Amino acid sequence: MVLIALYVVAITAEAMTAALSAGRRDMDWVGVCVIACVTALGGGSVRDVLLGHYPLTWVRHPEYLWITATAALVTALIAPVMRRLHSLFLLLDALGLVVFTVIGCRIAQEMQLPTTIVLVSGMITGCAGGVLRDVLCNDIPLLFRKELYASVSGLTGAVFLAAQTFDMHLNSAMLIAMVFGLAMRILALRYNWQMPKFVYRDEWR
């Protein structure tokens, strides 16, 4: 099925960008693999643990662990080439975001959870991996500071749900949501769209 192919592309892309993050922190090869697995598979794992949806994806399909670890090691080996592929990676990363989001929404729908939770499940699947990566690399999660990452994930889920309420076929709804989310993300990157920030200083009190 196309969604599985897209999922494999997505976890590979996430693993590769995560490996670059780990490299910025001078981690050793084991660290690079761990960060890659956590980033690529962590969003789905957090979702499954919170929803009680056992067994987790990578427990049922251990090959995903090998794919992400291999992608991370290859990235470490060919890092100098990666720099030229920067735009390609931003695109693949955006693809990962929308694929993860739609999969997360679907799983919550299959568990027949309420609509709010379907949306939240999509956002957790799309974003939690990156948050875990930033926590393990001791950064303030980028998600909360820049880029429309979480917003794009939420909007993708909303379009997916809206398309379904208009009696659209499941696959069409997925396609529309993913194309919409991808376009939003690319536009956000291209024109540097940002959410308004909330800046609060106690010190002025």
Q: Give the number of C-alpha atoms closer than 13 A to the C-alpha of residue 157, restricted to the C-beta side.
A: 28
Among positions 78, 145, 179, 183, the unique one binding a copy of itself when judged by CB under 8 A: 145
Shortest Cβ 56–a copy of itself spacing (Å): 6
User: What does each C-alpha distance from 58 to 92, 143, 178, 180, 189 come to in angstroms?
Assistant: 21, 24, 23, 28, 31
Among positions 3, 8, 29, 176, the unique one binding a copy of itself when judged by CB under 8 A: 29
The sign of the CA dihedral 8, 11, 14, 16 is: negative
Among positions 2, 81, 112, 138, the unique one binding a copy of itself when judged by CB under 8 A: 138
23 binds a copy of itself per the rule CB under 8 A: yes
- Sites for a copy of itself among residues 153-192 (CB under 8 A): 154
Return d(Cα 4, Cα 52) in angstroms, integer. Answer: 22
Interacting span for a copy of itself (CB under 8 A) from 88-96, 98-106, 141-149, 155-163? 141-149
User: What does each C-alpha distance from 45 to 100, 125, 181 come to in angstroms?
Assistant: 12, 8, 22
Residue 83 carries which DSSP code? Answer: G
94 binds a copy of itself per the rule CB under 8 A: no
The burial of 33, by beta-carbon neighbours within 10 Å (0-12 exposed, 13-18 middle, 19 or more buried), is given as: buried
Measured from the CB atom, is 168 or 193 closer to a copy of itself? 193
194 binds a copy of itself per the rule CB under 8 A: yes
87 binds a copy of itself per the rule CB under 8 A: no
Cis ω on the peptide bond leading into residue 55 (within 30° of 0)? yes
62 binds a copy of itself per the rule CB under 8 A: yes
56 binds a copy of itself per the rule CB under 8 A: yes
Measured from the CB atom, is 66 or 183 closer to a copy of itself? 66
3-state DSSP assignment of residue 44: helix
Return d(Cα 11, Cα 34) in angstroms, integer. Answer: 13
Return d(Cα 170, Cα 35) in angstroms, integer. Answer: 33
Residues that bind a copy of itself (CB under 8 A): 19-20, 22-32, 34-35, 45, 49-52, 54-56, 58-59, 62, 65-66, 76, 79, 83, 86, 113-117, 120, 131, 135-141, 143-146, 150-151, 154, 194-202, 205
